[in-house]
Structure 1
Amino acid sequence: VSSPIPFIIFKSHYDFRQTNIITELIDPGVGGFSEVIKSRMVIPFDGSWLRFKKVITHELVHVFTYAVLYSEGLESMLSASAIPPMWFMEGLAEFETREFDPIGHMMLVDAVVENRIDPLENLTDFGMTGNVFLAYQESHSLLRYIAQTYGEEKVSMLLRKFKKSAGLEGTIKQSLGVDIKTLETGWIKSLRQAYYPEVARRRIASDDSQQIFKDQVIPAAPSFSPGGDLAAVTIIKDGILCIALIKTSDGTIVKYITEGMRGIKFEDLSFEAGPAYSKDGSRIAFIAKCKNKDVIFLFDVFNNKLLKTIKVDLDNISSLCFAQANDNIILSGLKNGESNIYRFNIPTKGLEKITHGMDRQPAYSSAGNKIAFIREQGTATDLCVLNMDTAEVTRLALPDLPKMDPFWSQDGNIVYCSCLLNKTYNIWAVRLQENPMNGVTTNAQVTDYFGGAFNGGYMGDKLSFSSYEKGGNAVYFHEKPLNIVWIQPEIKDSTTANIAASLAIKKTDGNITPYKTRLTFDWRRMDMLYSSANGFAGIGELAMSDVLGNHRFIWRGDASSSIEGDTNFILAYLYLGKRASYEVDISDWSNSYRFLDEESKEKKYGISGNVSYPLDIFRRVEFGLSSKRVVTNYILHKSPTVRENINLVSADIIHDTTVWSWDGPIGGSRARIGISDTIGLSNNDLDFTNLEIDLRKYIKAGNRSAMAFQLSGKTSTGRDQTQFILGNGGIIVANENGRIKRYFVDEFRGGTELRGKAFAKGSFEFRFPLIDTIQFSLPMSIRNIRSLVFFDVGAAWQEGKPPVFRKAITENNIRGAFGWGIRSNLWIFPIRIDYARGTDFINSTSGAVTHFSLGYDF
């Protein structure tokens, strides 16, 4: 790395998700990223210094990797002869952190036992795996296997070879001396040799516990009603997180508490923080993300309604529970880089900070005014108890291991938590004396399952926990009383004093230099083309931005060696530093069109501006204003030059709750309504008003399959109303009244064409994986080939209302199309091939038509 690495830190994940360094929406589960253009590291602080350190190491490795592979930035990336597979890029970053993620290790062990390890061809692109987080752990274990088997120097050799090699197979052969198949076989064998003895030695949860909530994916800890007959759980339904009320006896879902709320009441739920039942069973509290803040929702269980939304002045809320009095909620939250425990009084809306360290995961004791929590201090995590009456904090004596998920026994004499031992979290217990502030007597390991035991709690009088197995968190409970063998701890320095003040984060004064905007190049690209008809042409693009991505300049243009010497360009400036995004551009662009024996040249130039204002993460409004001059010269048959002005004002509203996977949209919906109108300032100004609507719905239909629906339409009025065409897509050039005109064509498969001042069309697609990999004898392959079946119907008309179906058939204004298609990425190009037949709903279908295009599906 030859230059300083920009390191951008956000104080919370909410601020991080709003970064302008990349313009894509960031998933709540993303802990940071690094990018190749300016070698920037971008990471939020989530309240844990241990996780923060690991993410820094991970992203720093990526920056170093980019510097080796793409020393010239984006230009060298686009021209690279070989792009390393994801198992190498992410595996190397995880390998250099030196430690397996504990939850990830449990997932890896489970995958080995269940024979679900992904083959290397799937790990080349994580989109072909069913579990991306597992793919990270598999990649980590593969890089560790390479280092242990072939030598750690081979890892760096692979990196250097990837920069020069023309293919994956050749790189592996040259670096390791084996082919990919041999590497994969040895790696999987080493995993089985490492984990099968561990499985044989240790127990599984079903040996002495009973599973509940079968066939449900439950990522966070469930919360049980006082009697244990009901549970509030976070589950995944059609790819979307929701809160459900479930019977513990048979797993029947009583109600989806948050059904219909996403996109209206809140943006999303917390993936890690589960809901909380009140002590009297009347209320359920849960955390949701709303307008760049975590908020708490209270749900009335008995009256089946949402009681209220609680807003707190915190950057993030990571967990919560009810105190004995239902008017108080105990929560852990992040504020200005400090994670602490807070008490929120519901009637008064008062928020009180009750700890002063790096504290999280509070658990309130039903038998006393005490709170157990996890405290992070340096490289260690401790299980602590806060006495609310005396404000004293006690560090409980447990092995010096990472800890999480504390909870209490029903009598308040035992505190449990999950401790990391043998790379797996299992439940440990600490028994308190009659006066717990005078020390701790004994502790014990309660479980030792190879799938772990975490998310612990009590379901009535039964101990409940989660264990990772068969690709998900399975929830169990102990039917019989626990047989705990207590031992005298040999841990020194069990603290009984009030240690809260000593753990407050120290703030130091330092030289702080205010941020200054300084633009640097993102990429510069120029390609030269030549044809006998048009001569030489250069096509170029140049982009500049500042480190934070708030200011962006983009120039695109081409220069032709024709006699006229036209220079085409678009220069745009974008400002993204505020909630509203602003864009202004000036352009001057010429195109030539030929129709039969006539040829024309169109020159369009002018200025335009656009403002996009997000109402929330799902909704935004956009406003545009432009003024363009269009000059048309007729070349072969001399006709008068036509000069027209288009002064256009537009407004759009978008509502988008789409849920994305690596393969595209799998859930949610998208709606867009737009209107544009011209402003007449002179006789040469065009006069038209256009209205457009686009509705989309996605339904998950399997692990990697989905159904997609679209209904769209456009209409135009005015003296110069627009003519819309449903056809093969692209541009159609036609001679109308002695003038050559071009039309943008909306895609409609089947080989037919409909034209009118208004149109409507509907599409249905069922999208599914077809072939994961095609490997050629040359060092290249085509991966993740997907397929779809579709049915389209469309109609166009000139005047009046949309025709009814039967009348449209009679007047030949409606068409249908059906068929199947293939989708794949060839290098960076998204390829679309559709095989379609058209019908007018009366006669037999037309002949098959093959459509080829570049782009993405709706």
Structure 2
Amino acid sequence: MLRPPNLLRSFAALVLTLALAAPAAGQYGYHFGRNKIQYDNFEWRVLETEHFDIFYYPEMLELARQGAYFAEEAYEEMQNRFNFSLNNRVPMIFYSSNLHFKQTNVTPGFIPDGVGGFFEFLKGRVVIPANGNIERFRRVIRHELVHVFTYNKVLRVMRDHRRLPDRFLPLWFTEGIAEYWSGEPDHQHDMIMRDAVYSNYLVPVETMYRINGSFVMYKQGEAICEFIAQKYGPEKLLDILESVWVDTDFKIVLETALRVPYKQFAEDWHAWIQERYVPEAGEIGLSTVVADAVTGIGFSSKPETYRKQDGRRMVYFVGNRTGYSNLYEVEVDTAWTPVAEPRMLIRGERNDVFEAFHLFESRMDVSGDGRLAFVTKSGSQDVVHIYDLERDELDVTLRFEDRVSVSTPSWSPEGDRFVFSSIDESGYSDLFVYSFADDSVVPVTDDAYDDLDPAWSPDGRFIAFTSDRTSLGKEKGAYNLFTYDFETGRVEYVTFGDQKDFSPSWSPDGKSILYTSAVRDSTGRYSAQDMWVADVSGQIGAPPAVASLAPVDDTEPLSTRRLDRLTRFSGAAFDPVWTDEDRVLFTSFEGLQFTVRSMPLSDRLAEPLETREVDLSQPGLSWTYGSLTGDDALRTPYKKRFKLDLAQGSVSQSPVLGTLGGAVLVFSDMLGDDYLNLMVFNTAQTQRDFLRSLSFQLSRTQLHRRTNFGYGGYRFSGLRYDITDPDAPTGFPRFYETVYGGFGAISHPISKFRRLDLGTSLNWSRKEIDIRNIDREALLLSNSISLVHDNALYYYNGPIQGWRARVTAAYTTDVLYSNVSYYSLLADLRTYIRLGRHMTFASWGMARMNRGREARLYYMGGSWDLRGFRLFSVRGQKQWFTSHELRFPILTQPSVTFPALAALGVVNLKGSLFFDAAHAWNQDYNLKQPEIFAGETLGSAGLGLRLNMFGGFVFRYDIGHRYRDGFTRIDKRWFKQFFFGWNF
């Protein structure tokens, strides 16, 4: 999915605008976009190991040491796998949580939930967050290190064979080999591949480009690499990398390395993956068949239920039905069938209070008196919201000091406390209890293990939770269920084994725990994530040796426990809720869709699909991960060093400006917080004019704090073509100007969706227009202020939902001679109303004016605004403009309907019915200036086509009629315009 320009990009553009358009800076080329905010001022340190520079902050020192150990451990293995050693040290930047990771400036883009890390090619940086799960942290380090070795190995192979480094391995292969070599396939791998086989969305190898960048691509690419290693030998993966020089076509590379026709390889893989999962078909059930749907369209998860005082049974869930994630409620009848459409309770992802729901991380819970506790991101941290379901209003929002990430609040039976899981700046996940009585937060666990999904028992004595503190947590990455006993302070096993047990939910009588589990079999594959029930009516099991929180009492622990399997799905079950009506409410994953479903429990409890007796008498030994100490790693303060990111030069010939030549150099520090930009160019037509026409700009942009700063100096001299200058000849606005001075810019994000931009510049300007005998000198001071809002949801061709706006005021004056003095005002509002999944009604209204001595002209015309008129042909010091579009789909999935088009890079084709209207003027509203279309109301209407190629290039074709003189005159000829760019 495309994302809007963020604060970093917008701020860089603002700095450039200030330099290039010093008078009334901020008027032209203004930007929208959400803000990527640096909430925390991290005190960076560097941990230097044999092969790595580990960047971290003091609060996460122990985690950094563990990460350094994992990196060195993986480095030795990767050297052997790749038969290759790296020439340079690898910079690794660690964050202790996903919320900190989202603030990184190493990449300017937004980082969504679920991204485990990335490898950046420019400086070879690896950026990874921890998220409480140390084994996952280790796996991601290995994954990204495979990318580092792959990238450098391919460069070496190309160099050894005297080839240009122009070969790009397909994304499915680079991510697939990184997944495969980072560790054994996990339960999510088997979940996706099993569902792909049974739901028939498995993609043939030949058309893997159809799912580029998706989670399915990662897992299917991993499966293909596993197949290559098993059928042809593990060494063949390296052979593929060493054969990359043979041809630009990856099919030929594969054939060369595997010595088998590509078609046969693709068929063999398809048969192999079918053989792996199809034999289970006789045992598999479909959740869409055995469970009743509570939700339908879109994405739905994290269900909860509550019976209101008027007797109505309500189901609550987080859903993404149209693009934004929101909190919904839906009424159900006695059969748990919806009786009406879901009603939105909380609008998410459009303001800073409900900035983001963590769709895959945090469950909700309802207290006995009808208070719904749920988590959203709000600013720098997660917060817990309490919503009164009876009064239908938000009660309170709770922020916990020193708690960065928060998930899964669960109420005590009395409703005076709730337990939750949280990660602090150290990066470790523990359980805490919040009390309303004294506004206190008390830790329940305090260690390095990953404690998740707490659930308070009906009698108030126990908390059931998920943790990797099981003795199989280190060796197998297993998660089992545990209970914490408030009376004894004991942590004890509920389940034990090589499996992934999540989301415990107590039965109303407190004698059983319903949960989900993916169990690994003898082949190493995981079962589907199904629902199981643990009988806890007897004694609780043995305490784990790793984490007793209090002295163990003399009670003899239970040696075995009965576990009953209730489902055997093709996909997976998440977040089960055991209701008081003997039904289970859960999230179903099937056919690559998440829906909320319900089904009765009585029959399944009476006749479970499988029963196991788990041995709890051998809790195992305690374990910890390795860590590099001071003897193995040197700790030093982070020192900012600039390195070259970009060097580009060009020479061009222009019929207007003649010969042009220039170069751009961009430097930045390792963390991406500080940029130096140098631009040099020359428009001299003779050698004698070289120094006179030399232009340059040197600027610095600092992004490490919440408020971003930019400043610089410049000298621009030479011929200039400027259609906005009021003194320039209208037909051919070319003149000579020398400008030198300095500028500054400040961008302060109020929230993710709103910011304040400030700009100032002071420059000396000498403008020479011979044809009009103008030789004007001025010392120009320009100041501007803008308020920007943007919560629009973007898709391939541009915004599809939400709204964005900008209000700007600016003033420019000649502080020396008073030759120039004018002010500028601008208001721009764009709204997007979603009429369906692929239909949007978009409206744009804008008004702007410059007024005073030497007030500059605004411009419009062309495919980007006033269609039917030449690009930038409509000019005036004052303008209003409006545009309205009905955008509709023509071809949304060419990979399915027309695979040949998808192979050519066609992502989608959309159409629009449009209407534009505008008026530009200078002195009098109706004073006509035909050469710049000023003084009359113009318009156009017609049909537009938008073709997205390769996911990033949008080609625009518009056809319609033009209107003149306040729509009293129509141009009978059809206009046709072809251009490029996203929708407004």
Give the Å deviation of 1:793: 1.4
- Paired with 2:952 and 2:935, the residues of 1 have a C-alpha distance of 44
Equivalent residue for 1:469? 590
Pairs within 5 Å for 1:379-528: 379-421=477-519, 422-436=526-540, 438-440=556-558, 441-446=560-565, 447-460=567-580, 461-474=582-595, 475-481=597-603, 482-483=605-606, 484=608, 486-494=611-619, 512-528=635-651
CA distances 1:243-297 after superposition (whole Å, capped 9, x unpaired) = 1112232233453221378415331222124553333141101101111111111
Q: CA deviation at 1:349?
A: 1.3
SS of the counterpart of 1:605? strand
Alpha-carbon distance, 1:362 to partner: 0.4
Residues in 2 aligned to 1:346 and 1:280: alpha-carbon distance in whole angstroms: 15
Q: Deviations over 1:581-636 (max 9, x none)?
A: 0011222233344987996323333221110011111111110001233333346x
Deviation of 1:759 (Å): 1.7
Partner of 2:977: 851
Matched, 1:355 2:475: no
1:156 aligns with 2:291: no
State the distance in 2 between where 1:271 and 1:297 align.
15
Query: What is the CA–CA distance in structure 1 between the aligned matches of 2:881 and 2:157, rounded to whole Å?
Result: 46
Which residue pairs with 2:73 in the alignment? none
Matching of residues 4-43 of structure 1 within 5 Å: 4-43=89-128
Q: Please identify, of 656-665 and 406-415, the stretch whose mean Cα deviation from structure 2 is larger.
A: 656-665
Partner residue of 1:806? none
CA distance in 1, matches of 2:879, 2:657: 37
Structure 2 CA distance for partners of 1:561 and 1:64, relative to 1, 3 Å: farther
What is the identity, as a one-letter code, of the residue corresponding to 1:478?
A: P
Task: Indicate the SS of the match to 2:192.
Answer: helix
Distance 1:591 1:322, change over 3 A: farther
2:288 aligned with 1:199, yes or no? no
Amino acid of the residue matched to residue 170 of structure 2?
A: P
Contact 2:797 2:982 in 1 (8 A): no
Q: CA deviation at 1:812?
A: 3.8
Aligned to 2:54: none
Among candidates 288, 293, 302, match of residue 376 of structure 2 = 288
Give deviations 1:332-390, integer Å, cap 9, x for gaps: 00122221110001232100001123211101111341001112233332211111122
Greater Cα offset, 482-491 or 667-676: 482-491
Distance across 1 between alignment mates of 2:205 and 2:462: 50
Taking structure 1 as reference, are residues 70 and 681 closer, same or farther at Cα in structure 2, changes over 3 Å only? farther
Name the residue aligned to 2:421. 332
Name the structure 2 match of 1:237: 321
Kept in 2: contact 1:754–1:813 (CA 8 A): no
Shift of 1:173: 4.9
**Bigger mean CA offset, 429-438 vs 505-514:** 505-514
Q: Distance in 2 between matches of 1:85 and 1:347?
A: 57
Deviation at 1:235, TM superposition (A): 0.8
Can you list the C-alpha shifts for 1:295-332, whole angstroms capped at 9, x where unaligned? 11111111111111111120101221111121101100
Query: Does structure 2 retain, via aligned residues, the 8 Å contact 1:331–1:342?
Result: yes
* Aligned residue in 1 for 2:50: none
The 1-side partners of 2:653 and 2:715 are apart by 22
- Which amino acid in structure 2 is aligned with residue 360 of structure 1? L
CA distance in 1, matches of 2:641, 2:228: 43
Q: Secondary structure at the match of 1:18?
A: coil
SS in 2 for 1:53: helix
1:23 Cα offset (Å): 1.9
SS in 2 for 1:220: strand
TM-score of the pair, normalised by structure 2: 0.76
Does residue 630 of the first structure (1) align with residue 754 of the second (2)? no
Matched, 1:341 2:431: yes
Shifted more, 9-18 versus 265-274: the winner is 265-274
State whether residues 750 and 818 of structure 1, in contact with CA within 8 Å, keep that contact through their aligned partners in structure 2.
no
1:410, distance to aligned residue in structure 2 (A): 1.8
- Going from structure 1 to structure 2, the CA distance change for 1:579 and 1:117 (only over 3 Å counts) comes to same
Aligned partners of 2:479 and 2:950: how far apart in 1? 48
Counterpart of 1:141, as a letter, is: A
Contact 1:223 1:276 in 2 (8 A): no
Q: Does structure 2 conserve the Cα–Cα contact (< 8 Å) formed by 1:43 and 1:56? A: yes
Match of 1:544 in 2: 667
> Secondary structure of the equivalent of 2:635?
coil
Q: 1:821 to 1:550 in 2, by over 3 A?
A: same
Q: 2: CA distance between counterparts of 1:660 and 1:163?
A: 38
- Relative to structure 1, the CA distance from residue 418 to residue 521 in structure 2 (aligned partners, 3 Å threshold; closer, same or farther) is same
Equivalents in 1 of 2:747, 2:279: separation in Å?
A: 58
Report the Cα offset of residue 641 of structure 1: 3.0
Distance 1:44 1:343 in 2: 25
Aligned with residue 601 of structure 1, among 730, 733, 736: 736
> Aligned residue for 1:732?
none
Is the CA contact (8 Å cut-off) linking 1:444 and 1:487 kept in structure 2? yes
- 1:762 is the counterpart of 2:844: no
Partner of residue 144, structure 1: 226
Are residues 70 and 613 of structure 1, via their aligned partners in 2, closer, same or farther at CA, if it must alter by over 3 Å? farther
Which is worse superposed, 746-755 or 524-533? 524-533
CA–CA separation in structure 2 for the residues paired with 1:51 and 1:20:
23
Q: For the Cα contact (< 8 Å) 1:625–1:648, is it kept in 2?
A: yes
Structure with the largest fraction of strand = 1
Aligned length in residues: 823
Separation in 1, partners of 2:394, 2:924: 43
Give distance in 2, aligned partners of 1:687 and 1:24. Answer: 39
The corresponding residue for 2:459 is: 367
Structure 1: distance between partners of 2:488 and 2:444: 11
Contact 2:880/2:920 (8 A) holds in 1:
no
Aligned counterpart, 1:748: 866
The Cα of 1:784 is off from its aligned counterpart by 2.1
Counterpart in 2 of 1:319? 408
1:303 aligns with 2:428: no
Mapped partners of 1:312, 1:697: distance in 2: 36
Given the two structures, how large is their TM-score scaled by the length of structure 1? Answer: 0.87
What is the correspondence of 1:127-276 to structure 2 with a 5 Å cutoff?
132-162=214-244, 165-176=247-258, 184-205=266-287, 208-215=290-297, 217-225=299-307, 229-248=313-332, 249-251=336-338, 252-253=340-341, 255-259=343-347, 262-263=350-351, 265-276=353-364
- Identical counterparts, % of pairs: 23
Q: Tell me what 1:54 maps to.
A: 139
Q: Which has the higher relative contact order, 1 or 2, with Cα contacts under 8 A spaced 6 or more apart?
A: 2
Match of 1:813 in 2: 937
**Does the 8 A contact of 1:210 with 1:478 survive in 2?**
no
| Alignment match, 1:616 | 751
Q: CA contact under 8 A between 2:305 and 2:313: conserved in structure 1?
A: no
**In the aligned structure 2, how far is the partner of 1:596 from the partner of 1:671?**
33
Give the stretch that moved more between structures: 652-661 or 295-304: 652-661
1:591 aligned onto 2:719: yes
SS at match of 2:368: coil
Q: Please report how far the alpha carbon of residue 790 of structure 1 lies from its aligned counterpart in structure 2 after TM superposition.
A: 4.3
Structure 1 residues 544-693: aligned runs within 5 Å: 544-560=667-683, 562-563=685-686, 564-565=689-690, 566-589=693-716, 590-593=718-721, 600-634=735-769, 639-661=773-795, 664-683=798-817, 685-693=819-827
What's the offset of the Cα at 1:177? 5.7
Q: Distance in 1 between matches of 2:170 and 2:925?
A: 51
The answer to which of 329-338 and 657-666 deviates more is 657-666
SS in 2 for 1:107: helix
Task: Supply the distance in 2 between the matched residues of 1:749 and 1:670 (Cα, whole angstroms).
Answer: 21
| CA shift in 2, pair 1:755/1:525, >3 Å | closer
Which residue of the partner structure matches residue 76 of structure 1? none
For the structure 1 residues 443 and 698, does the alpha-carbon distance in structure 2 shift closer, same or farther, using more than 3 Å as the test? Answer: farther
Q: Confirm or deny: 8 A CA contact 1:81 1:163 kept in the other structure.
A: no
Residues in 1 aligned to 2:627 and 2:763: alpha-carbon distance in whole angstroms? 59
Aligned with 2:301: secondary structure? coil
TM-fit CA distance, 1:850 = 3.9
1:391 match: secondary structure: coil
